[in-house]
Amino acid sequence: MPDETLISKIAKNESNNSTVRLKAALALNNKTVLNEIQNGKLNEQDIVDESVTRLVHLYGLSPRGEGFFVGSGSDEFVKNIGEILNAAGGKQLMLAVHQQFAAIYNIMGAARNLEMIWDGIGEWQG
């Protein structure tokens, strides 16, 4: 488990580049960086790419390849990513990330697994 205090400091430090702070924000659902996303200071494609990278990594961490599931620990990180995406760009941004994740992690059930974890975030219905 990452050191949340360190990640929080990185997310709040304005001297760090936006990509580093975006990574920290996705780990913590940080409000400062979320405001930058909403104010257009962070590029939408960077948000999509970083979100997909994190989702692919989290999916790959499952011990038997079962992906994200409620109670796994990774499900909370996956929900946080969905919440940030929803706050930043609503269902459209979530859909862009979902589509890219599905294209990269093209195995049976992976995209559906993400849909179920994001169920109820904003307008998302899994």
The rounded distance, in Å, linking the Cα atoms of 79 and 119 is 9
> CA angle at residue 20 from 73 to 106, to 5 degrees?
55
Q: Is residue 126 part of a domain?
A: no
Is residue 125 over pLDDT 60?
A: yes
Q: Which residues of 91-126 are buried (b: 16+ CB within 10 A; e: fewer)?
A: bebbebbbebbbeebeeeebbebbeebbeebbebee
Is residue 114 over pLDDT 90?
A: yes
Q: Domain of residue 81: give its range.
A: 4-117
**pLDDT averaged over every residue in the chain:** 75
Is residue 28 over pLDDT 70?
A: no
Is residue 15 over pLDDT 50?
A: no
Q: Is residue 50 part of a domain?
A: yes
Q: Is residue 35 part of a domain?
A: yes
Q: Is residue 76 part of a domain?
A: yes
Digit-coded pLDDT (tens) for 44-95: 888 888 888 888 888 887 767 677 776 767 788 888 889 888 888 899 999 9
The rounded distance, in Å, linking the Cα atoms of 117 and 109 is 12
Q: Is residue 25 part of a domain?
A: yes
pTM of the model: 0.71
**Residue 23 CA to its chain's centroid (Å):** 9
**Given this model, what pLDDT does residue 124 score?**
93
The rounded distance, in Å, linking the Cα atoms of 92 and 103 is 17
Domain count, the chain: 1
Q: Is residue 122 part of a domain?
A: no
Q: Is residue 124 part of a domain?
A: no
> Is 54 in contact with 26 (CB distance < 8 Å)?
yes
